[in-house]
Amino acid sequence: MQHVGQKTGKYLLLGAMISCASAINAQELDPRSYINLPTEQNFFGALYVYTDGDIHTSADVPVDELTLEIDGPAIAYARTLNLFGNASKIDISTGQACAYGEAVYQGEDISRKFCGITDTRVRLNYNFYGAKALKMADFIKQAKTTVVGASIQVSVPTGQYDTDYILNIGANRWFIKSEIGTSIPFGSWEFDLAVSAKIFTDNDELQGDKTFAQDPIYNIQSHLIYDLGPGHWISLNGNYFWGGDTFVDGEQKSNKAGNYRAGFTYSLALSSQHSIKFLANKGVTTTRGNDSTVYAVAWAYRWD
């Protein structure tokens, strides 16, 4: 089996394989991002993620039967804080991943398997409506209310990147994701809605001397959540994302049609400090891009 690292076929895999990382990021389905939380709380989380599936390429890309499998652990730290009198949160995350890709290029089987550190992400959430900053003693006395907030997330290119290969763990570029969202409770139910735009810098070290650019990716996600009990809930999740056309030295290499994903999240508080979460989501309609299934399990620990 021929390896992707060989010169033959490496460049022509651009439209299919290098865009996988961006497509995976666009699958983000994150319920309860804009709920109210007490301030001065710390959270540490550890999770394991597994994803595999097909990559649907444009007709002008000479690659068939492209599949990608990724798995690995990640860690995150978050702290809630008082920002201008409103409840806010800052978090940072990074991880390690192993990936395996296969495809047929001009009748030959090609593949690559590798592991490395992922890019680091930092995010600031600011709830500007319905989330007055309160410490735990006062927070627990408050009833749930509608919350509206915004966030900025930055991806820092700290991940492993090798200019000899198209498919890498790290993206060798920055992105900034801006989002606005709301959480609307009604009885034991809650409806979440968020709209975001992700803007990328260029990767000017593609195979050493080429420049890879990508248009912004836009995402609308919604969640219907049911509280089964204190700290115990389940969510049905869905999103629609579009954009993300890719270019190499100014020449368009792939274009992305709008895609839908759906899934669920289950969360259970084991105590006042420990909780676990399970999630799964899958592409419902994928015209071009990543049609993978994602599974994850996470544990979180909270302290004052």
User: Of the spans 101-105, 181-185, 253-257, which averages the highest pLDDT?
Assistant: 181-185
pLDDT tens digits for range 85-110: 999 999 999 999 998 877 776 567 77
In a domain, 290, yes or no: yes
| Residue 79 reports pLDDT greater than 70 | yes
Q: What is the pLDDT of residue 120?
A: 94
Q: What is the pLDDT of residue 59?
A: 47
Cβ neighbours of residue 59 under 8 Å, at least 6 residues apart? none
Q: What is the pLDDT of residue 17?
A: 36
Q: What is the pLDDT of residue 208?
A: 67
Largest CA distance in the chain: 66
- Rounded CA-CA distance 286/269 in Å is 35
pLDDT more than 90, % of the chain: 57
In a domain, 304, yes or no: no
- Rounded CA-CA distance 261/20 in Å is 15
| Residue 287 reports pLDDT greater than 80 | no
- Rounded CA-CA distance 130/190 in Å is 15
Q: What is the pLDDT of residue 271?
A: 93
In a domain, 263, yes or no: yes
The answer to whether 73 and 46 are in contact (CB under 8 A) is yes
| Residue 274 reports pLDDT greater than 80 | yes
pLDDT more than 70, % of the chain: 82
Average pLDDT over residues 108-129: 89
Confidence at 177, pLDDT banded by 50, 70, 90: very high
| Residue 15 reports pLDDT greater than 60 | no
Average pLDDT over residues 248-270: 84
Q: Which domain holds residue 69?
A: 2-299
pLDDT tens digits for range 223-249: 999 999 989 999 999 999 888 888 888
Domains contained in the chain, number: 1
CATH code at 172? 2.40.160.40
Q: What is the pLDDT of residue 288?
A: 46
In a domain, 140, yes or no: yes
Confidence at 298, pLDDT banded by 50, 70, 90: very high
pTM: 0.85
Q: Beta partners for 238?
A: 222, 262
| Collapsed DSSP state (helix, strand, coil) of residue 130 | coil
| Residue 3 reports pLDDT greater than 60 | no
In a domain, 12, yes or no: yes
pLDDT tens digits for range 52-77: 877 655 444 445 667 888 899 999 99
Question: From residue 179, how far is each of 149, 156, 193, 195, 213 by CA, in Å?
Answer: 9, 18, 10, 6, 22
Q: What is the pLDDT of residue 109?
A: 74
